[in-house]
Structure 1
Amino acid sequence: MFALDLHTHSRFFHGFAARPTPFDPVGARLLGAAARLRGINGVALTNHDYYEPLSTGSAVRVPGIEVTTTRGHVLVVGPDPPRFTHPERLTPMETVALAHEHGCVAIIAHPYRNSTVREVDAPFDAIEVNGKHPRTESWVRQLADDHGLPLVGGSDAHYPFEVGRAYTRVDAEELTPESVVAAIRAGRVEPRVDNHPTDRLVRRFYHRIHEQKRHLQTPTWLDEAPTPGVGRPPGEDDD
């Protein structure tokens, strides 16, 4: 059994072009060092709309990319992800097909933040419990049950200290990109969320930021009042 953070980024900030930067190699090594300190065996580097093979030092690196589809974000993880995607060009269905063509899995990322990917009838391989919003875990579990998909965990780390706040336990004999893909497809994975006080503090910060940005959403089947800040995903106009 291995611990793998399936959602990390090698740069500190959002809002830049989808391309590698000179900082990426440094960021990747910092992620790897932080992962090992937290007992995480490996990390999937899933930068926004580009993949660059980078060393993560002593931690195992799993290639990946976070694709900005027309309905929100999808993680593509495996041995040979696409090197570049145009933000908001690919539909979720096209993204899943691209992932499978490259021998990768397609994972719905943070399904209740700035996304309606969860509403798309596409052959996804898993759904993510996101480290920034573990309060949605019960909703995500219900979503996974409804779709018959396994759950995975990822920190969505943009800063090294965030690595491992959510991660995936992978049942495999060895930790390779191919074995990770096989384990996810077979359902031999389960999410874990770390509840360290620092993690709780950072989550409250992100919750406030995403509320202000109107990115948070609540399942329509809940009877309670909607989460403040319901927003539309990239590529969709507000009604």
Structure 2
Amino acid sequence: MVTVDLHTHTRFFHAFSGPTSYDPIGARLLVAFAQWRGLDAVAVTNHDYYSRLDIDTGSLTLIPGIEVSTTAGHVLVVGPEPPMRTTPGALTPEEIIDIAHERDCAAIVAHPFRNSVVRDLDLPFDAYEVNGKRSVPIDQIQQLAETDETSLVGGSDAHFPFEVGRAYTEVDTEESTPKAVVRAIRDGRADYRLNESIPLELIRQFYKRVHRLKGHVDH
């Protein structure tokens, strides 16, 4: 088994539309906290861009990824060769699934009940995400996955490095390479796990309140 956080970011806020000089620093911090939490791999999924990071990760695997802002919500594309850049709101979920599969990547619906109607589309996604911020009850996401016969995976949605691993994925594979992880997700050999320590639970409750006050959550 391999443990992977499938949804992380290298910077704190959303204010920039592309790579910055801070990204390698943020990635090193992600790696440090991921190793401290005992993870085997981390997917870096910045908003609408992917950049190759030449940093020392030790035994931890950095999996390429991107969080695409589609016309209907956010979709994670993780795997060997995700697209380098996407324009927010320009691509449909259907187009992103095609791009992901052409590049041997997995297409995962990110936070399906927050700022998203992707879940309402009958499309061949590889998984739904149990997001670390968990703005809705897990049974709501489980019901969605069961209805669509789609796997559930976990991702922290960490913008601050210490949030890494609050939700992650246990993948039934012996290797933590991007290809092996993607193959297992697409075969349904993956499931979400949660870190419910008191500090992370307090942070989750904070995000839950903020998202609901902003009207970002659908029930």
Which 10-residue stretch deviates more, 68-77 or 201-210? 201-210
Superimposed CA distance per residue, residues 129-184 of structure 1 (whole angstroms, 9 cap, x where no aligned partner): 00001643111111111111111000000000000000000111111000011100
Which 10-residue stretch deviates more, 209-218 or 62-71? 209-218
Structure 1: give runs of 5+ residues left out of the alignment: 219-239
Q: Residue 51 of structure 1 aligns with which residue?
A: 50
Contact 2:49/2:66 (<8 A) preserved: yes
Q: Residue 30 of structure 2 aligns with which residue?
A: 31
C-alpha RMSD over aligned residues: 1.0
Tell me if 1:124 matches 2:125: yes
Q: Residue 9 of structure 1 aligns with which residue?
A: 9
Instruction: Count residues in correspondence.
Output: 217
Contact 1:171/1:188 (<8 A) preserved: yes
Distance 2:138 2:7 in 1: 16
Indicate the structure (1 or 2) with the bigger Cα radius of gyration: 1
Contact 1:168/1:189 (<8 A) preserved: yes
Which 10-residue stretch deviates more, 133-142 or 187-196? 133-142
Distance 2:21 2:148 in 1: 40
Query: TM-score if structure 1 supplies the norm length?
Result: 0.89
Which 10-residue stretch deviates more, 25-34 or 203-212? 203-212
Query: TM-score if structure 2 supplies the norm length?
Result: 0.97
Contact 2:170/2:190 (<8 A) preserved: yes
Which 10-residue stretch deviates more, 53-62 or 143-152? 53-62
* Matched position secondary structure for 2:162: helix
Q: CA deviation at 1:15?
A: 2.6
Q: Residue 69 of structure 2 aligns with which residue?
A: 68
* Matched position secondary structure for 1:140: helix
Contact 2:135/2:217 (<8 A) preserved: no
Distance 2:102 2:143 in 1: 29
Distance 1:137 1:187 in 2: 19
Distance 1:148 1:56 in 2: 38
Distance 1:111 1:91 in 2: 15
Amino acid at match of 1:168: T
* Matched position secondary structure for 2:137: helix
Q: Residue 235 of structure 1 aligns with which residue?
A: none
Amino acid at match of 2:3: A
Percent sequence identity over matched residues?
A: 56
Q: CA deviation at 1:56?
A: 6.1
Q: CA deviation at 1:213?
A: 1.4
